[in-house]
Amino acid sequence: MTDRTDTPNQEPIPTPNFIGMLIECQEDALAVIADSNKAADVLRIELLGAKSSLSKLTRQIRLVPDADRAQVGTVVNDVKKSIIDAINKKGASKINDLRSSFDPTMPGIRPPEGHLHIVTQAIEEITRIFERISFIRVRHPEVDWDWYAFGALNMPANHPARDEWETFFLETRDKKQATRKMVLTPHTSNGQVREMEKKKLPIRMINIAKCYRRQIDVSHTPMFHQFEGLYIDRNVSIGHLKGVLDYFVKQFFGPERKARIRPFHFQFTEPSFEVDISCGVCNGAGCKLCKQGWLELGGAGMVHPAVLTNGGIDTTKYNGFAFGWGVERCFMMKAGTHLDDIRLLYSNDVRFLRQF
């Protein structure tokens, strides 16, 4: 489009010339509107705004003879109106195009919806169950000093009991460059002495964390979860332990499931037990997962005095019980799960995970 106002013109403009320039302006503008894909607002600014050729020309209306100014003004208005109409018409046809291809009454497409991983769901459920009897969830390191995982639990260096934990060890150096052993925690029992070190009694903790062992088969994965209960108070008895275990089994598995306690040996409890629950896959008949109808969930017992002493607790006044069970195993033994291979939980197959 030619700009007719590049050089400020102070000479009078004859009326027919001015009207001729206006008509030229109008034709240029209508051609732009017809060819352009720009939005109506953009076109309005470009063709009618203060910097448009039409506005610049209109500002020179004072150079038209006085007598003709009103007539020229009417032409200016007509030109403007025709441009506005053309822009509006174009905008409306665009909206109509859209309207004909878009049906706002059609139902939307629902995006796929995820959910928490089943192990996370189980952890939350376990947390809620223990919360109701005042056992509060705490967190302790999942990579910890050898001391908290073994030494503090009455298993000095080179004690054969350590072999049972198939542990991943890390060699680390302290500030003086001396080697010190750390472990990927093979059980949540490392939280026991750490919790005692907080020096707040009585203790009612539930420590739920990742554990690591060098094992993989239908009932083991190298990373799994445990929950560790610890109760330290005055005059705690095995009866209290049994009460808490029964409470949990009824809440988590349902009133029809059976639990049993078998005498066992752990370095950090005396007496010690293993806790089994009747298998939910075969209902106690024996299957690929449980072999003889019972599945071991983990251990329990009365905290060994050596452990209490390591945690700075006065054993003449306080005693307590502890238990440590596998989260995944608990989930697999739940009614209706029918899960016979623990590795499925971590295979990340959404067809499997979606079922829960």
Q: Is 87 exposed, middle or buried (0-12, 13-18, 19+ CB in 10 A)?
A: buried
Q: Minimum distance between the CB of residue 266 and ligand DAH, rounded to whole angstroms? A: 5
Query: What single letter denotes the amino acid at residue 174?
Result: D
Phi, psi of 288 (to 5 degrees): -55, -35
Shortest Å, Cβ 236 to ligand DAH: 13
Binding site for ligand DAH (CB under 6 A): 187, 189, 228, 266, 269, 298-301, 322-324
CA-to-CA dists, residue 147 to 117, 158, 228, 231, 232, angstroms: 32, 12, 17, 21, 21
Place of tokens 């307590």: 320
Q: 267 vs 278, which CB is nearer to ligand DAH?
A: 267
Distance CA 294, CA 203 (A): 31
Q: Closest CB to ligand DAH among 253 and 323?
A: 323
- CB closest to ligand DAH, residue no: 299
The string of DSSP codes covering 116-181 is: --HHHHHHHHHHHHHHTTTPEEE---SEEEHHHHTGGGT--TT-GGGGGG-PEEEEEE-TT--EEE
Q: How far is the CB of 110 from ligand DAH (least distance, A)?
A: 43
To the nearest whole angstrom, how small is the minimum distance from the Cβ of residue 167 to ligand DAH? 11
Q: How far is the CB of 231 from ligand DAH (least distance, A)?
A: 10
257 vs 304 by CB, closer to ligand DAH? 304
Closest to ligand DAH by CB, 52 or 269: 269
CA distances from 110 to 103, 107, 347 (A): 17, 9, 26
Q: Of 3 and 164, which CB lies nearer to ligand DAH in the complex structure? A: 164
